Amino acid sequence: MSNSKVVDVHTHVYLPRYMDLLRSRAEVPRVILDDLGQDRLVILPGEDKESSTKRGRPIGDEYWSMKRKLEFMDLHGIDVSVISLANPWLDFLPTTQETFEFATALNQDLSTVCTSSDAGGRLFAFGVLPTLSPSASVAEVHRIAQLPHLRGVIMGTIGAGRGLDDPELIPLFQAIADAGLTIFLHPHHGVGNEHFGGYGHSLSLALGFPFETTVAVSRLILSGIFDRIPNLRILLAHSGGTLPFLAGRLDSCVAHDPAVAEKLQHPPTYYLKRLYYDAVIYHDTGLKATVDLVGADRIMFGTDNPFFPPLKGEKHVTRWMSVDKNIEAVKGVPGEEKVWNGIMGENAVRILNLK
Ligand code: URA
Ligand code: ZN
């Protein structure tokens, strides 16, 4: 895909400082050692209830090593990555000074990694916030804004504990917008897990995660936040969950509920069109729906590394199917080289100012 830059905007790392915390914990989220001495990451709700062999997922240094991240980038032709801490971020920690200082330390770690000579200018980052305390988060936003390679913050959907439409979060959203930072909105809990039967984590990740994003963003829109803060910039994980597909239904159901509709200046789709979307959806059908709704110039390639590694072969030298599926999906978007180059990286360079 020509000489233009390939940028991965959805790529995680469990920083060593965060790994230490996960290893020290007796409850989810935690890292445990299995009978074979293999680290297992146990982070999703209910994962601890499974039998010990199935608990969590096996992990290696691709989850915390920046050397591995750069190798992964080289293997897949990725020039630049915007790294973020993976779920569940700080959402399980108490609102104490210690947690606030932990957030500051993690953001400083991200900055150090991005500015290191090993990174060679190829890394940027989304920082992390103690969102359960909106006021501490505002203070952290001001610090993040001073870090040269940080471009925004990754955020889950719980906010201060009551969802993202909580009025208590308005000053935080305002501070993020004022600082010119982008929110990378990412699911963790899943919606509907109780309906998914006994199929491991497959349906929670495939369906529950995108439903969580769908619900959180719909509530955010209906709260009127984008009328209040028009320059609030949000990048949605997994191509916006199911929002591109359900946008018409959202518009219609809101229009038929005047008490809800009258609180908004526009139909929900108007606001959806102003958001940004990653391309982590693995099929061109879903990606085309997203392009159709918001235009190809608001969509950015991602990998979700280090999740979804190859199940066979040496993961440090074998190309990852999960990555190739997302590249194929981009190539399946009708258009020309300019459109694909935009999604693969040029949009991210422009939108996130990665020069
Ligand atoms: N599983 C997770 O828990 N998080 C991701 O980002 C991807 C898969
Ligand atoms: Zn992810």
Q: Tens of pLDDT along the chain (355 residues)?
A: 468 999 999 999 999 999 999 999 999 999 999 888 899 999 987 777 765 446 788 999 999 999 999 999 999 999 999 999 999 999 999 999 999 999 999 999 999 999 999 999 999 999 999 999 999 999 999 999 999 999 999 999 999 999 999 999 999 999 999 999 999 999 999 999 999 998 888 999 999 999 999 999 999 999 999 999 999 999 999 999 999 999 999 999 999 999 999 999 999 999 999 999 999 999 999 999 999 999 999 999 999 999 999 988 888 899 999 999 999 999 999 998 999 999 999 999 999 999 8
Mutate to test the pocket of ligand 1, among 83, 304, 320, 326 (most ligand atoms within 8 A of CB): 304
Q: Is residue 137 part of a domain?
A: yes
Residue nearest to atom 8 of ligand 1 (CA): 307
**Residue minimizing CA distance to atom 4 of ligand 1:** 87
Which ligand neighbours the alpha carbon of 280 most closely? 2
Q: Is residue 50 in a domain?
A: no
CA distances from 336 to 132, 183, 298, 342 (A): 44, 29, 16, 10
87 lines ligand 1 (CB under 6 A): yes
Name the residue type at position 320.
W
Measured torsion, CA atoms of residues 203, 321, 16, 132, in degrees rounded to the nearest 10: -40
Let me know if 198 is exposed, middle or buried by CB neighbors in 10 A (0-12, 13-18, 19+): exposed
**pLDDT number for residue 52:** 47
Q: Relative to the alpha carbon of 10, which ligand is closest? A: 2
Cα distances (angstroms) measured from residue 271 to each of 74, 82, 217, 231: 36, 25, 10, 11
Instruction: Tell whether 20 is covered by a domain.
Output: no
Give the burial class of 90: count Cβ atoms within 10 A of its Cβ; 0-12 exposed, 13-18 middle, 19 or more buried. buried
Distance CA 88, CA 93 (A): 10
**Ligand 1 pocket, residue 89 CB under 6 Å:** no
CB-based contacts of 27, cutoff 8 Å, min separation 6: 48
Cis upstream peptide for 88 (omega within 30°): yes
C-beta of residue 209 within 8 angstroms of C-beta of residue 157: no
CA 290 to ligand 1 centroid distance, Å:
21
Contacts of 75 (CB under 8 A, 6+ apart): 316, 317, 319
- Total domains in the chain come to 1
Strands 299-300 and 57-58, sheet pairing:
unpaired
Please determine, for the modelled complex, whether the ipTM score is greater than 0.90.
yes
291: Cβ contacts below 8 Å, ≥ 6 apart = 299, 333
Nearest ligand to the CA of 322 is 1
The CATH number for 300's domain is: 3.20.20.140
Domain for residue 39, yes or no?
no
Residue 288 CA to residue 311 CA, distance in Å, equals 28
294 within some domain: yes
Judge whether 99 lies within some domain. yes
Query: For position 316, what pLDDT does the model report?
Result: 85
Question: Comparing C-alpha atoms, which of 153, 149, 150 is closest to residue 128?
Answer: 153
The pLDDT of residue 55: 78
From ligand 1's centre to the CA of 341, what distance in Å? 26
Task: Kindly give the number of the ligand 1 atom that is closest to the alpha carbon of 44.
Answer: 3
Residue 242 lies in a domain: yes
Per the listing, tokens 């949000």 go with 234
Range(s) of the domain holding residue 292: 7-13+85-305+318-351
- Strand pairing of 57-58 and 39-42? antiparallel
Inside any domain, residue 113: yes
